Chains A and B, each alone.
Chain A
Amino acid sequence: MNKKFVLDKGVFRILYEKYKQYLLPIGILCISVVLINQLLIPQFNDFLSTKEEEDEYRQSNEILRNNLNFLTNLDTTVLGEQVGIVSTALPVDKDFEGVLTSISSAAVATNVSLDDFTFNVGELSSGSATLTKERLPTIRINLTLRGTVPAIKEYINNVSKRFPLIEISKLESSSGITTATVSFYYRPFSTVTINEKAPIQPLSQSQIELINTLLEWQKESPIFTSSLSQEELEAQLPALINPSENIEVEVIEEASPSAPIVSITP
């Protein structure tokens, strides 16, 4: 017998009558699934992201709190002195006065006669476009000195511990006459951009030792000229600081072969 199946109103009625008890649980189940997908999972993800955000804020606040404590406890006077020392050791501009004072006072201290000298200063302006970031700019000076060889040795020793910092790139001493090529380092101001949420690290042991060494050199030098006064530095710093980015270092002018610049990226 080949009966034709017809899906009509009657069939639906029979099916409804037979399975109507299942309709409510199925509907509830469907609603539950929809709620899970549309409400619960997003709500859970939102909760997780809130937790992550909370952790980030906690860490960030911890860093900020430490930074605040560190800066609050930082002795302004000591910091000012340290800034004074380093800005004299490595001036922000071409410190001709400091350079002349250094080479001549070293000559006086070591009984060496300073004959003549020539400056190779490079550009007098400080346009940043022509400069590379890899090296520190220098002022190069050719010196002629008269003195005994031990005195010249003393002169090298003495002038190496004076400010601004120098590098002797060439020296020839013979028969009482010495010619030397000396490079004085300087480092122009650059835009210092500070990331507010980066932890401020206290000075490392090696940095403290370096400051102490510079302090000793400063004491040994009978004539000490500061290339930048505290007031000048303070006046210039706000304009050089931009919050919430990384510190960028721009170097200006003629390069020295052995002093790569260190970029600060806190």
Chain B
Amino acid sequence: MSDGINLLSRKTREQPVTRNYLLPFRIISFGLLMVVFLASLVLFVLKLQSPLESLKREEQSLLNNISVLDQKRGQYAFLNDRLKNISEILKTRPAFSEVLDTFSTIIPAGVNLSGISLDKKTAKVTFESNNLTEINNMLEATIALMQNDTTFAQRVALDELNYDNRRQVYSVAVLIDIE
């Protein structure tokens, strides 16, 4: 069958469709190449302008300057280390002296401190008086101290209550749990 018979040839019908696809395809492909080129160029320029090298030089210079002060830094590290250890020691050692100091403030006149026994976390304090009322006042003051000062001790317990007939003296031993 001859193509010439048809008024609109098959060839001329397909050509515009092909051209319609070709142009955007060319634009996209060239555009993409240009974008890649430009992006690569921009990244290259940005990297060239990066201050990394100057930052490295600055770091080296700072390190050199600090190395001059190594002695001081060592002393400061030593100080910090000791302070941490001293702080731990003071935090963990039993506060016997503080407890005894606080306890001394409530001992009324006429009551004498006659014995101290300290063992790890417990302090045993013995006091004596020839007046039972004073002993009672002392015990009441101890209870009041416990109620008012919660940091004083965890627990205070009456350990012993004795009467020495020969000396005519009452003695009371109190156990104080420091932790």
A residues apposed to B, CB below 8 Å: 21-22, 24-26, 28-29, 31-32, 35-36, 39-40, 43-44, 46-47, 50-51, 53-54, 57-58, 60-61, 64-65, 67-68, 71-72, 74, 76, 79-80, 82-83, 86-87, 89-90, 136, 149-150, 152-153, 156-157, 160-161, 165, 167-174, 178, 185, 187, 192, 194, 196, 200, 203, 206-207, 210-211, 214, 233-234, 237-238, 240-241, 243, 247, 249, 258-262, 264
Contact = CB atoms under 8 A, between A and B. Distances in A.
Main secondary structure of the interface of A (DSSP, over half): helix
B33 A31 contact: yes
A214 B86 contact: yes
B52 A54 contact: yes
A192 B76 CA distance: 11
Nearest to B39: A40
B160 interface: no
Given A71-B69, A89-B86, A241-B73, 4 more contacts: A40-B39, A47-B47, A168-B96, A237-B74
Contacts of B84: 262, 264
Contacts of B55: 54, 57-58, 61
Contacts of A185: 85, 89
Interface residues of B, number: 67
A28 B82 CA distance: 70
Interface of B: 18, 22, 25-26, 28-30, 32-33, 36, 39-40, 43-44, 46-47, 50-52, 55-56, 58-59, 62-63, 65-67, 69-90, 92-94, 96-97, 100-101, 104, 112-120
B67 to A, nearest CB: 8
B121 to A, nearest CB: 10
B52 to A, nearest CB: 5
A25 B30 contact: yes
A86 B82 contact: yes
Contacts of B51: 54
Contacts of B83: 86, 203, 207, 210-211
Contacts of B104: 150, 153
B73 A71 contact: yes
A54 B66 contact: no
Contacts of A167: 89, 93-94
A194 B63 CA distance: 13
Given A28-B33, A233-B75, A60 B118 contact: no
Contact of A39 (B25, B29, B40, B89): B40
Question: Which of A80, A210, A243, A259 lies at the interface centre, i.e. has the most chain B CB atoms within 10 A of its CB?
Answer: A259
7 contacts: A21-B18, A64-B62, A68-B66, A86-B83, A152-B116, A237-B74, A247-B81
A87 B96 CA distance: 24
